[in-house]
Amino acid sequence: MEHRRFGKTELDVSAVGFGAWGIGGPAMAGRVPIGWGSVDDRTSLFALRHALDRGITFYDTADFYGLGHSEELIGRVFGNRGDVVIATKVGHTTHHDGSLRTDYSRDYILQACERSLKRLNRESIDFYQLHSARVSHLGSGGCLEAMERLLEQGKIRAWGISLNTFHPEPEAEYLMQRNLGHGLQLVLNIVNQRAIPLLGRAHELGYGIIARMPLQFGLLTGKFSRQTRFEPDDHRSFRLPPQILERALEALRDVWPLAENLNMTNTALSLSYCLSFPQISTVIPGIKTPGQVDQNTDDIRPVDRTTLECLRQIYTTKLTEVVELMEKQG
């Protein structure tokens, strides 16, 4: 497994990380599913251990994933060991009635960090992220003050932001213009290439960059068909409704032959695409099973310039419309 330095920090991360949203289980925020459907904890624990055996040392979670359950599982497996890098997030929570809300206040972040440390069974969080905070939250100053205080106290080693899925620029620019934070998490995959213009400047300024959703909710594995439907407790049931799924599959028809030409699986091409950008520190496919660990670590290698240009052309001519539909869907 290749390792890369996370920006200007002292963190060394595996090029392929472990996206731990799925192992949180089928949580709900009111009537809105915020998980990936049912999972078995024993399988999740096995997947975490197997991932380390395969060289994955970077694990990305959030206190909102399974309403803390994802963090608890990671804490059970790794605890305070120093050969793994743990990233988590703060800012998403629920009202008393269970519905979704956000809180980026200073006091909330300080308290939430303590709860995450306890669930993770760690003395310090390696990379702490504001979970989809917007410019208005950053401008209030409370969340920035909280992050800097946690850094001074040694409760976190570095901090940054998990950026908006479709419009990452405003918050990224806010931090970069002020030289705040150490890392950015952004969406980058064959379907959604909107974040590419940010990569060069962020890298030059020393930010570590995490590429999330490299498989676009499983679309880029090639396992979905027009008949694919998701259970009500799976967030993809509203994010990938039939009309968007069909449009996406049609637009992706030109992508699959590129994988065949390279003798790669669709998954390997998709992950290798992200890692072909040297500015990317790590890519975090969602993983729920040991089998997915193997699929996400097999045959990851650089993609040639011609293939990258073809993927850019497919994005420009066919996939931008799909991304626009996804954005409207929410």
- Can you tell me the distance from the alpha carbon of 227 to that of 242, in angstroms, rounded to the nearest whole number? 8
Which residues on neighbouring strands pair with residue 28, listed in sequence order? 33
Residues with a catalytic annotation lie at: 65
Structure-block tokens of residue 306: 């011609």
At position 51, the amino acid (one-letter code) is A
Contact in structure between 187 and 195 (CB atoms under 8 Å): yes
- Can you tell me the distance from the alpha carbon of 231 to that of 35, in angstroms, rounded to the nearest whole number? 11
- Can you tell me the distance from the alpha carbon of 159 to that of 184, in angstroms, rounded to the nearest whole number? 9
Contact in structure between 128 and 113 (CB atoms under 8 Å): yes
- Can you tell me the distance from the alpha carbon of 94 to that of 113, in angstroms, rounded to the nearest whole number? 16
Contact in structure between 56 and 1 (CB atoms under 8 Å): yes
- Can you tell me the distance from the alpha carbon of 271 to that of 302, in angstroms, rounded to the nearest whole number? 10
- Can you tell me the distance from the alpha carbon of 304 to that of 264, in angstroms, rounded to the nearest whole number? 13
- Can you tell me the distance from the alpha carbon of 32 to that of 139, in angstroms, rounded to the nearest whole number? 29
Long-range contacts (CB closer than 8 Å, 24 or more residues apart) made by 260-268: 261/307, 262/303, 262/307, 264/299, 264/301, 265/222, 265/295, 265/298, 265/299, 266/220, 266/221, 266/222, 267/215, 267/220, 267/221, 267/222, 267/295, 267/296, 268/298, 268/299, 268/300, 268/301
Contact in structure between 183 and 157 (CB atoms under 8 Å): no
